[in-house]
Structure 1
Amino acid sequence: MRTDEPPDTARSLGRGIEQFHHPRPIYAGGWPTPERVRLMAGLSGRVLEFGAGDGVKLTCYPAEVSEVVLVEADPFLRGTAEQVAARVTVPVRVVGGSLTRVPAPDAAFDAVVTSLALCASPSAAKTLEEVRRVLRPGGELRFYEHQRSANQLLATCEKLLWSRVLGGCHPASDCLAALDRAGFAIIGLDRLTYCHVSHVLGSARPR
């Protein structure tokens, strides 16, 4: 919900980016983008997010979140995110690990956030297996991900070309099918496009 001031906004941080391989802005016009707002809405307790971006996403977490654990494999991006983490009110830990290995015990988190991360995973199945492992019973996955286009020509272009030039991103991924195979039930879903590329934004829980 919009208030007098954006949450934890430090104007010197700039617009921010969701992920390093996806320079999608976190802020637009001084406020979090609708996608980031939807990902954060109603979150509470301990939350894990994959991928640091430049760390500015940390300024968007609501006060009800007791801790954010940000998993990032790249040491440079971890260092950048740690600088932002020192300036926000929500407690943050930036840790190593990867999209297929989370350095956390079982059932440790109330929610997990993936934003343009599954498309870069070497195995979406393994990533979602880790998500299931670290979620507490009743926990929730929030996701904002590429979804293979329903247009066959565009889907072919995504598969043959774009995945080769987008830093390891695979926009032809079928996020919804991967969630279903991993045993997740969708509890909220929006379909949208960005630069003519199909995306899905929603939430899911283990069945």
Structure 2
Amino acid sequence: MTLRTDDHSDLRIAGQSFHSGMEQFHHPRPVRTGPRDRSEPTPERTALLAGLSGRVLEIGAGDGVKLSCYPPGLEEIVLVEPDPFLRAAARSVAERLTTPVRILNGSPGALPVAGGSCDAVVCSLVLCCSARVQETLGEVRRVLAPGGELRFYEHQRSGNRLVTLAEALVTPIWSRASGGCRPTRDTVAAILQAGFVIDTQNRFDFRRFPHVLGIARPGGIHRPARHLP
């Protein structure tokens, strides 16, 4: 599977109209942009999902609109979400799609799917919020099939000391208001510590907070990550 960011045509759903949606309920940033009747996935969500195939699991439902951004032809999309309200919201979107969707009650630290059953796991603004990030990443490793991928779009601790200090100062209040989010977490280091190899990563600022978007895979010999344009 490869990461492509230049072709959105296969992500449009004929005859469907979706509002902007959100990545996560506690991070209300859009997953789609443009007029409601002609909206397209944001560049970040397009890059996150491009080239996926087979069975894909995403941790966290948001309001469900992110389901409309997945490329066609997938075997199945599985959403794991502990909140019943968000599961219900996601089902209302899933009913409008042709791709099979399962929406399951579960937590990042106890994914309710069989080991080795997923071709990819998508984490969007999840690892930066996990109270036990290594436990979450251990579950991701468990459910990934051989050759499977972790797709991640997360907050990433800044390499600038002054920015890191500012992040540390706002984290106690920010975390309470944003579902436990920790902008000072070194997400890339956590992924490597969990035994993943990072194949691609793109670091950028969103609303002045450093973020990282990329692809990782379990095990293997570590090689330097290829930075995306």
Scaled to the shorter chain, the TM-score interval is over 0.9
* Pairing 1:68–2:77 present: yes
Tell me if 1:26 matches 2:31: yes
- Among 144, 147, 164, the residue aligned to 1:135: 144
Greater CA deviation, 148-157 or 32-41?
148-157
2:151–2:215 Cα contact (<8 Å) kept: yes
Question: Does the CA-based 8 Å contact 2:196-2:218 persist in structure 1?
Answer: yes
Question: Is 1:145 the equivalent of 2:154?
Answer: yes
Partner of 2:218: 206
Matched, 1:52 2:61: yes
Matches within 5 A, 1:34-49: 34-49=43-58
Offset at residue 2 of structure 1 (A): 2.9
8 Å CA contact 1:8–1:59 kept in 2: the answer is no
Task: Please state if 1:97 is matched with 2:115.
Answer: no
Q: 1:108, 1:160 → 2: CA distance?
A: 41
**Where does the alignment leave 5 or more consecutive residues of structure 1 unmatched?**
none
Tell me which residue corresponds to 2:9: 3
> What TM-score results when the alignment is normalised by the length of structure 2?
0.86
SS of the residue 1:126 aligns to: helix
* Offset of residue 157 of structure 1: 2.5
- Say whether 1:126 aligns with 2:131: no
Whether 2:21 is the aligned partner of 1:16: answer yes
Q: After superposition, what is the alpha-carbon deviation per residue over 1:61-109, rounded to whole angstroms, capped at 9, x for unaligned?
A: 1112110110001010001001111011111000010111100111010
Report which stretch shifted further, 144-153 or 15-24.
Answer: 144-153
Structure 1 CA distance for aligned equivalents of residues 79 and 155 of structure 2:
21
What secondary structure, in the 3-state scheme, does the structure 1 residue paired with 2:140 have? helix
* SS across alignment from 2:107: coil
Q: Does 1:178 align with 2:190?
A: yes
| Count of residue pairs the alignment pairs up | 206
Secondary structure of the residue aligned to 1:98 is: coil
Give the C-alpha shift of residue 163 in structure 1: 2.6
Q: Residue type matched to 2:102 in 1?
A: R
State the Cα distance separating 1:4 from its structure 2 match: 8.5
Amino acid across the alignment from 1:116: L
Whole-Å Cα distance in 1 between the matches of residues 10 and 207 of structure 2? Answer: 31
Q: Normalising by structure 1, what TM-score?
A: 0.95
Contact residue 43 and residue 64 of structure 1 kept, 8 A:
no
8 Å Cα contact 1:8-1:89 kept in structure 2: no
* CA RMSD of superposed structures (Å): 1.5
Q: Give the superposition deviation at 1:156.
A: 2.2
Partner of 1:165: 177
3-state SS in 2 of match to 1:201: strand
Distance (Å, rounded) in 2 between the aligned partners of 1:7 and 1:136: 28
Alpha-carbon distance in structure 2 between the residues aligned to 1:2 and 1:115: 19
Runs of 5+ unmatched residues, structure 2:
1-6, 220-229
